[in-house]
Structure 1
Amino acid sequence: MTSFRPTQPSRGISTAGRLARLAGALGVAALLAACQADEIGYGYGPKDQRPVSPKTLEAMKKLNMKLSSPVLMRIFKEENKFEVWKMNASGRYALLKSYDICRWSGNLGPKVKEGDRQAPEGFYPITPGLMNPKSDWYLAFNTGFPNAYDRANGRTGTALMVHGSCSSRGCYAMTDPQIQEIYALAREAFRGGQKAFQLQAFPFRLDGKNMAKHWNDPNMPFWKMLKEGYDTFEMTHQEPKVDVCGRKYVFNANPAEPLDTVAACPVDLGQPKELVASLQTRAKADYAEAEVMFAKLENDRKAEEDKRIQLALAAEKRKADAEKAKAEAELARIEAERNPSTIARLFGAEPNPDAGITIGPVIVPPTGAPVPIADPRGPQIHAVALAEPVEQERASAISRLFSFVTGGDKAPAAAPIIPVAAAAPALPTPATPALVPAIPAQGAPVAAAPAATAVPAITAAAPIPPLPGQPAPAVTGQPGAVAQPTAPQIACAAPGVVVPAGTPPCPSLAAAPAVDPTPTARDKSILDRIGSWF
């Protein structure tokens, strides 16, 4: 038994959704139609049978040309131009259309061998059999390479075409609309009775100005040979008659016998003498212009090249000088770190490479006592001066100068400490007590003790303080003054000397350094001392 299910409305698809999908489908169709229109350029039906565009037909009408009249096509590599010429009512060719070549392969110069990817140069007859309506590159026609000249010179290559798709591997590539119109114009000329149209492929327009730019090119002899056919068309606007003999092109020949492409050409080729004379005059003028322009261009080129060379050399020199200066500065820095210069030795202590800081000379007082030196690296490190005075070998130049002016290059050596016990050995007890006279002023000689006691004289740096209750000895402040004589008094008890009871022992004294006895010399200014040298 078959069961029936009631019809349910579809889910998720609304009327608005259906309209949106329909609009999208129409948009895609329009896009595809646009692509197709761009591809075909114009017209309908098979692409090889589509008609010539109305715009081109209008141009033909203005130039007094028929749709079925013969055509001639020219290619200029350097200018990147493809020209279509068509015969008008006068029987001469006139320029109908000029197209920009989409792409061509190789460099200026002819094709020589298979695989060199060069686009051919020369004169090629295109017959209906070379037209290719089913080309993989939209539409195409074969150039017919190699022609009689190419074969006579052993040149090889196949399938060198003018086609669409804007892609070239040894060919001349056009856009699809361009090749469609070119193909239609050739087709209509064939239908009008033209058995073959001439394709002329040149590196550039063969006039004096353009030839001057390539005067030293190794292909120039080949291009001069093509120039005769180029000039023939330029002067007459008629298709030049092309033959080959002696492995070279010959133009406008009417020989009595057929020409051999390899054998030498006959002396008389039957060319029109007036045309030959005109062609020779034109060629001579173009070659003279080319030589003059080439010389000028060559001078300009050399001047520009010299300028570039000079600029390059100057840039290299600046770079080298900068690198040299940088290297010298680096060497100087390294040398300064390893061996300080003379200026550094004169005006400052030699840098310590371990600590990385400079420590000035240590000054030791005359007493020889150890003095702590403040270290700039912190309180953790202290330099302690030696008890024995040390000569500072690397004092600054300013310190040396002032020490010299003030009386000497070296600091005075401190007198060693002489213990009293060592200076005064024990002696036998004298019959009479020894009396020690008062100590004179600083720098004055000490009076000797009585001979009975034989106590050596002691030179003190400062007067011995008097005993309690005793008056201080009188000392004058003038140089050379001697203490006033007073009654002998026992100031202190020297070791080994019998003195009255209660006399305090003499303290140990260190020899005082010599003092300049002339105070006026100490008071002179530094400038006076320096002036006295002169």
Structure 2
Amino acid sequence: MRMNSARGVLSGVILAAALAGCVTVGDQRHLKPVPPKLVASMQAKGMTVADPIVIRVFKEAELEVWKRDASGQYGLLKTYPVCRWSGQLGPKMQEGDRQTPEGFYTVRAGQMNPNSAYYLSFDLGFPNELDRALGRTGSALMIHGACSSSGCFAMTDDGAAELFALAREAIRGGQEGFQVQSFPFRMTPENLAEHRASRHIAFWRNLKEGSDHFEATRRPPKVASCGRRYVFNASPSGPGARFDAQAACPAYTVEAGAAMMVAAKQARDETRVREIVASGRAAVSYTYLDGSMHPSFREILRRSGPARLQALTSGAVEAALAEPKVTPTGTLSAASVPF
């Protein structure tokens, strides 16, 4: 207990140092407490404000905060509507493309900005090691307030304040950095089947591996990269071997408990994907103007008038794709059948 307490004090000092010097005098927004209603919800779920968090965010315009409970596993604390994200489904590729990143990121105290131009924010840490290995470029990709996005996940100011408070208290409680898992959509068999014709499907299936590790174990996976892809809960087998995003993966083992649970989940999901495809459900494609927002905000804007709705929103247009045709050789187009 003394060690945990000391670690919490040290983390609090580090956080205070990171936040000092960039805070406008008299501005206390970064010190807003976690709302009492949310604290009560934590207590009912066996959590405290100091327990670690994980953030999962989806381009379905929802953000989830998960928190470790008394069992040591993570439970869903609250789901927030995302006010705005920009770009298309798929990872961020280069500076200026307006793409919101997809992948696994870690946010530490130094990435939290209490004096953000967008109310409050924290930097995702893009590009991570894998992004750099893949030649992806960009900077200042954040989760923030102000409901305005150019490559970020934008929340309402109230939502950003709650997220900042939750992250602040977790770091003060001893969490060195919290994981942010950013996905194009929830990694369900239904979504993977529908998006099977996308050029990003191989990357998304790699993201699903990490999602499966979290959903099967209810713990944030240990994330590394090698062979230009993510690996999860893995350790190199040989002495001196290490993971390098740009090099081929060395022999490695996956934590036994996690491996068994994840394999079982993946087998179930793959069976379901095949059933969906076999049922004749068409793959879909999306043509984007510029990202999207949660339906709740669209309704607010709709009541504000068509001009404002058109100015601030541009949703996805869904179109069914023709099913792949069998060639004279009896094979299917690889682009159409990525499974």
- Which residue does the alignment assign to 2:255? 272
> What is the rounded CA distance, in whole Å, between the counterparts of 2:256 and 2:276 in structure 1?
30
Residue aligning to 1:201: 182
1:156 alignment partner in structure 2: 137
**Separation in 1 of the partners of 2:258 and 2:168?**
32
Unaligned runs of 5+ in 1: 1-43, 307-534
Amino acid at match of 2:242: P
Deviation string 1:119-165 (CA, Å, 9 cap, x unpaired) is 00010000101000010000000010000110011100111100000
Counterpart of 2:121 (choices 123, 129, 140) is 140
CA distance in 1, matches of 2:77, 2:53: 9
Pick from 225, 245, 262 the counterpart of residue 246 of structure 2. Answer: 262
- Give 1:63's match in structure 2, choosing from 18, 35, 45: 45
Question: What TM-score comes out, normalization by structure 1 length?
Answer: 0.47
> Higher relative contact order at CA 8 Å, sep ≥6: structure 1 or structure 2?
2
Cα distance in 2 for residues equivalent to 1:156 and 1:249: 18
State, as a whole percentage, how many aligned pairs show the same letter. Answer: 48
| Aligned mates of 2:201, 2:145 — CA distance in 1 | 31
Q: How far, CA to CA, are the matches of 2:232 and 2:44 in structure 1?
A: 32
AA aligned opposite 1:47: R
Distance in 1 (CA, whole Å) between partners of 2:68 and 2:263 is 26
Partner Cα separation in structure 2 for residue 280 and residue 215 of structure 1: 21
Distance in 2 of aligned mates of 1:272 and 1:201: 23
Specify the alignment match of 2:303 in structure 1. none
Gaps of 5+ in 2: 1-25, 285-319, 323-339
Cα 1:217/1:181, change in 2 over 3 Å: same
Counterparts of 1:300 and 1:222 in 2: how far apart (Å)? 17
- 1:51 aligned residue (33, 38, 44): 33
Match of 1:167 among 129, 148, 170: 148
Query: Which residue of 2 is the match for residue 294 of structure 1?
Result: 277
Correspondences of 1:326-475 after superposition (within 5 Å) = none
Aligned pair partner of 1:285 in 268, 285, 310: 268
- CA displacement, residues 230-266 of structure 1 (integer Å, 9 cap, x when unaligned): 0111011011000011111000112243212211111
Q: Quote the Cα distance in structure 2 between the aligned partners of 1:104 and 1:116.
A: 13
Max Rg structure: 1
**By how many angstroms is 1:288 displaced?**
2.8
Q: Quick one: which amino acid aligns to residue 167 of structure 2? A: A
Q: After TM superposition, give the deviation of residue 276 of structure 1 in Å.
A: 2.3
SS of alignment partner, residue 250 of structure 1: strand
- In the aligned structure 2, how far is the partner of 1:236 from the partner of 1:131? 28
- What is the CA–CA distance in structure 2 between the aligned matches of 1:208 and 1:111, rounded to whole Å? 24
- After superposition, the Cα gap between the structure-2 partners of 1:300 and 1:271, relative to the gap in structure 1 and judged at 3 Å, is closer
Residue 297 of structure 1 and its aligned partner are, at CA, apart by 4.4
Instruction: Please report how far the alpha carbon of residue 274 of structure 1 lies from its aligned counterpart in structure 2 after TM superposition.
Output: 4.7
Kept in 1: contact 2:193–2:283 (CA 8 A): no
Residues 24-47 of structure 1: CA deviation (Å, up to 9, x unaligned):
xxxxxxxxxxxxxxxxxxxx9600
| Alignment equivalent of 2:162, drawn from 163, 177, 181 | 181
Q: Does 1:212 align with 2:193?
A: yes
Matched, 1:100 2:81: yes
Distance (Å, rounded) in 2 between the aligned partners of 1:236 and 1:281: 12
Code of the residue aligned with 2:59 in structure 1: it is K
Listed as ranges, the matches of 1:59-138 within 5 Å are 59-78=41-60, 80-138=61-119
Q: Tell me how large the CA RMSD over aligned residues is.
A: 1.9
* Equivalent residues of 2:282, 2:321 under 8 A apart: no
The structure in which a higher percent of residues are strand is: 2
Q: Say whether residues 1:249 and 2:256 are aligned partners.
A: no
- The CA distance in 1 between the partners of 2:69 and 2:51, in whole Å, is 7
Sort the Cα spacing of 1:298 and 1:62 in 2 relative to 1 into closer, same or farther, 3 A: closer
Q: Equivalent residue of 1:226, what SS?
A: helix
